[in-house]
Amino acid sequence: MTTNQQAYDAARAIIPGGVNSPVRGFGSVGGTPAAMVKAAGPYLTDLEDNTYVDLVGSWGPMLLGHNHPAVVDAVHKAVDAGLSFGTSTPGESQLAELIADIMPVERVRFVSTGTEATMTAIRLARGATGRNLIIKFAGCYHGHSDGLLAAAGSGLATHALPDSAGVPEAITSQTLVLPYNDEEAVKQAFEAYPDQIAGIITESAPANMGVVPPKPGFNRFLREITTANDAVFIMDEVLTGFRATKTGGWGLEHADWAPDLFTFGKVIGGGLPVASVAGTAAVMDQLAPLGPVYQAGTLSGNPIAMAAGYATLTNATDDAYATIAQRSTQLQSMVADALKAEGVNHSIQSAGSLFSIAFGTADHGVTNYEDTQAQEAFRYGLFFHAMLDGGVYLAPSVFEAWFISAAHDDAAMNKIADALPAAAKAAAAATA
Ligand SMILES: Cc1ncc(COP(=O)(O)O)c(C=O)c1O
């Protein structure tokens, strides 16, 4: 039998770091990543035949659990009909209409990754306004396009710096990186750069620095200030969309307003590569071939991916969302109780059914990137490995959300409950 270690060694010999996306590596927790070979419901199985309760859910898409029969069936039927046509297909409009039934959008353009969706949204904001500057918030992740791999410059409202080697300063100088949840910083940016800001992009509820919920009214404020300044407001719902709630992070506010553009991904592909930019006809119809803003994709709207997305969203019933919300609340209590029993200082940050732990933050909570970075992250490695030893697969970084699915049943929850006491003990014993 090939072991996880052998599979990892083979992967490292041919794939940089042994992974095709850095978050899958165990860099921040240590150890050897397991090579998964099977998934069903709430479980993942590795090639040594160890089964884990999965709390990563492929980083978000597996809302209904793995291999949901209706999704698998839809995919099988689509495969039988043909893998890719390179033409329009009815499945594209069906999924687009379904999205527009649930979210306040008039047009949907499909792409294959969240990175493409946000990149396109930003190009649209610039094309629609004739301006260059984009505001993003520190700690929000919007994929890996150059202008969004930007770190705050020195001082508020100064041009951002590259946050990765290979990103030119000339590109990040078109991005302003501001502290999250800070209305004053946004106002100052609009004052400092009148008529130069094309738009604001924000995660509707940030979940890539751990979960950091928006202060009440923060998203509405962003809507108002972009409207007042003729700038485009982009809510990135790639992670939160159809997941934090049925109507994403936007739905948490029961908003009577909408952004100009949303970006979606993950759940709308049900495990296959689908993302989209969606929004008002006025902005979206700027896209080629109707308008002057270019965007394209050989496999965009792929029929198999559309079928998986459509089957996922149509099976994401109100009952399914209620189950996910209830399981999330239950899991948050289980984690909090286990950590409290060992005296581990922490807070649990949540946005809808998404949540994460921030160690050492009980007295002040977490409202922005600086707060998340100041937490006792060193506690997570031992916590993670104790959970893994107990058969629970968490994200290998404390700065990730926990993803629960509609398939997490009592048996899965019991397995998590059994693993938690040792993990909490390990977190308590960890030293910096
Ligand atoms: C909020 C958000 N936007 C964009 C992306 C990029 O999506 P992808 O990894 O599909 O390129 C992610 C990925 O995690 C995300 O969480």
What tens digit of pLDDT does each residue of 400-414 get? 999 999 999 999 999
Q: 234 or 155: which carries more pLDDT confidence?
A: 234
Rounded distance between C-alpha atoms, residue 233 and residue 174, angstroms = 16
Is residue 132 domain-shared with residue 280, that is, in the same domain? yes
Of 278, 299, 315, the residue that ends a domain is 315
Centre a 10 Å sphere on the Cβ of residue 69 and count the other Cβ atoms it contains. 10
CATH code: domain of residue 398: 3.90.1150.10
Residues 134 and 174: beta-carbon distance below 8 Å: yes
Mean pLDDT score of the chain, rounded to an integer? Answer: 97
Q: What is the pLDDT of residues 327-348, one digit of tens each?
A: 999 999 999 999 999 999 999 9
Looking from the CA of residue 116, the nearest atom of ligand 1 is 11
Residue 44, pLDDT above cutoff 90: yes
Which domain, by its residues, includes 328? 4-64+318-429
Residues 265 and 96: beta-carbon distance below 8 Å: no
Is residue 162 domain-shared with residue 308, that is, in the same domain? yes
How many structural domains comprise the chain?
2
Q: Is 141 a catalytic residue?
A: yes
Paired with 357 in beta bridges are 348
Query: If you compute the radius of gyration of the chain from its CA atoms, what whole number of angstroms results?
Result: 21
pLDDT band at 153 (very low <50, low <70, confident <90, very high): confident
Most confident of the following: 26-40, 149-163, 312-326: 312-326
pLDDT of residue 1: 81
Residue 128, pLDDT above cutoff 80: yes
Is residue 310 domain-shared with residue 322, that is, in the same domain? no
Is residue 146 domain-shared with residue 169, that is, in the same domain? yes
Catalytic residue among 246, 266, 415, 425: 266
Mutating to test ligand 1, I would choose from 56, 59, 120, 141 the residue with most ligand atoms within 8 A of its C-beta, which is 141
CATH code: domain of residue 264: 3.40.640.10
Residue 365, pLDDT above cutoff 90: no
Eight-state DSSP code of residue 231: -
Residues 40 and 285: beta-carbon distance below 8 Å: no
Residue 175, pLDDT above cutoff 90: yes
CA of 8 to the centre of ligand 1 (A): 25
Q: What is the mean pLDDT of residues 1-11?
A: 94
pLDDT of residue 15: 96
Residue 361, pLDDT above cutoff 90: yes
Is residue 291 domain-shared with residue 374, that is, in the same domain? no
DSSP string covering 202-239: EESS--SSS--PPPTTHHHHHHHHHHHTT-EEEEEETT
Q: What is the mean pLDDT of residues 210-215?
A: 97
Of 276, 299, 315, the residue that ends a domain is 315
Is residue 273 domain-shared with residue 331, that is, in the same domain? no
Is residue 372 domain-shared with residue 392, that is, in the same domain? yes
CA of 60 to the centre of ligand 1 (A): 10
Catalytic residue among 43, 141, 310, 393: 141
Q: What is the mean pLDDT of residues 85-106?
A: 98
pLDDT of residue 152: 85
Of 280, 315, 350, the residue that ends a domain is 315
Q: Is 236 a catalytic residue?
A: yes
CA of 49 to the centre of ligand 1 (A): 30
pLDDT of residue 255: 82
Q: Is 266 a catalytic residue?
A: yes
Q: What is the pLDDT of residues 228-237, one digit of tens each?
A: 999 999 999 9
Contacts of 112 (CB under 8 A, 6+ apart): 273, 274, 275, 297, 299, 300, 302, 305
Is residue 193 domain-shared with residue 217, that is, in the same domain? yes
Is residue 229 domain-shared with residue 169, that is, in the same domain? yes
Q: What is the mean pLDDT of residues 129-133?
A: 98
CA of 348 to the centre of ligand 1 (A): 22
Is residue 341 domain-shared with residue 300, that is, in the same domain? no
Residue 156, pLDDT above cutoff 70: no
pLDDT of residue 314: 98
Q: In the β-sheet with 36-40, what is the strand arrangement from edge to edge?
A: 36-40, 43-46, 51-54, 392-393
Give the pocket of ligand 1 (CB within 6 Å).
59, 113-115, 118, 141-143, 203, 208, 236, 238-239, 265, 275
Is residue 306 domain-shared with residue 336, that is, in the same domain? no
Is residue 130 domain-shared with residue 263, that is, in the same domain? yes
Nearest CA residue ID for atom 13, ligand 1: 143
Catalytic residue among 54, 146, 236, 371: 236
Share of the chain above pLDDT 70, in %: 99
